[in-house]
Amino acid sequence: MARKKNKANGSANHFSYGTLILVVGFLLLWEAGSRLGLISRMFFPPPSTILQTLYRLIANGRVIDSARATLNRLVLGSLLGITPGILLGVLMGWSRRLRALFDPLIAATHPIPKISIFPLILIIFGIGEISIVIVIAISAFFPALVTSMTGVAQLDQVYFEVAKNYGASRWKTFSRILLPGSLPSILSGVRLGLTTALLLTIAVELLSAKQGLGVMIWFSWQTLRVEELFATLIVVALLGIVINSGLRVLFARLAPWSPEHTGQTSTAIK
């Protein structure tokens, strides 16, 4: 009966030299092809040029300012969307009656691509920052709600039976069983919400904004500064990666027992 240590075998953490070689090889081919004129230098500038452009954009502050504008919208919109999404999701998972009341509404509105209602929001709230933040919030709201609701509803009944048998009050059952038990789902709700919000932030910036990474992308396309386009794309990609892996690390600390980190699925224990 030795202590069993379950190593997380998340494939995402695995680093392979093969992948690195693949990426470096691709970049070298690109560099050579572009310099030798095998591919259009105008549309596919060599990676070294793109990196220089990126350095210049960082040095003159343009990309920093844009990234800050994008982050502001992203954080504000996500907070406004994810918070009520999780609150309602947990309550709907907890109460069958609330679920019956709201579920049809959610099922009907969830599949609508949120970018498509942006014009409607513009009509209601006018052109400007408020409309942008609202559409980001709406897009983050749904995945946060659905994920946390499913997590609460799928929590193993045996935990509630233990709580009941041990005489736990309704509040104890909520705060000690339901909330921590569904924490992994709530956290993946946060991550999904943020990922969707990033998508929407860039999309809306392409359409209508004065500053932001999406604006830079659109502007560099319209003025055919392709190396700036690529440089900005790198920043957007990095933003996504940092958000995702940052949350992963944070969640592993908040819920180290979660099946996601222990490499166990709850069905495997059964």
Is the separation of the CB atoms in 144 and 64 below 8 Å?
A: no
255 binds another protein (CB under 8 A): yes
**Which whole-number Å values give the CA distances from 188 to 1, 79, 148, 175, 216, in the listed order?**
33, 15, 8, 19, 30
Sketch the per residue contact string, 146 through 175, with another protein: x for CB under 8 A, - otherwise: ----------x-xx-xxxxxxxxx--x---
Q: Which of 230, 194, 235, 246 is nearest to 64 (CA)?
A: 235
The residue among 96 and 164 lying less far from another protein, judged by its C-beta, is 164
* Binding region for another protein (CB under 8 A) out of 4-12, 71-79, 102-110, 113-121: 4-12
Question: How many residues bind another protein, per CB under 8 A?
Answer: 32
Q: How far is the CB of 146 from another protein (least distance, A)?
A: 22
Q: Which of 256, 231, 248 is nearest to 64 (CA)?
A: 231
9 binds another protein (CB under 8 A): no
**Which whole-number Å values give the CA distances from 115 to 91, 102, 105, 109, 259, in the listed order?**
27, 22, 19, 13, 34
Q: Which of 240, 236, 201, 243 is nearest to 220 (CA)?
A: 236
The residue among 1 and 108 lying less far from another protein, judged by its C-beta, is 1
Q: How far is the CB of 156 from another protein (least distance, A)?
A: 6
The residue among 108 and 158 lying less far from another protein, judged by its C-beta, is 158
The residue among 89 and 184 lying less far from another protein, judged by its C-beta, is 184
* Binding region for another protein (CB under 8 A) out of 24-32, 137-145, 197-205, 251-259: 251-259
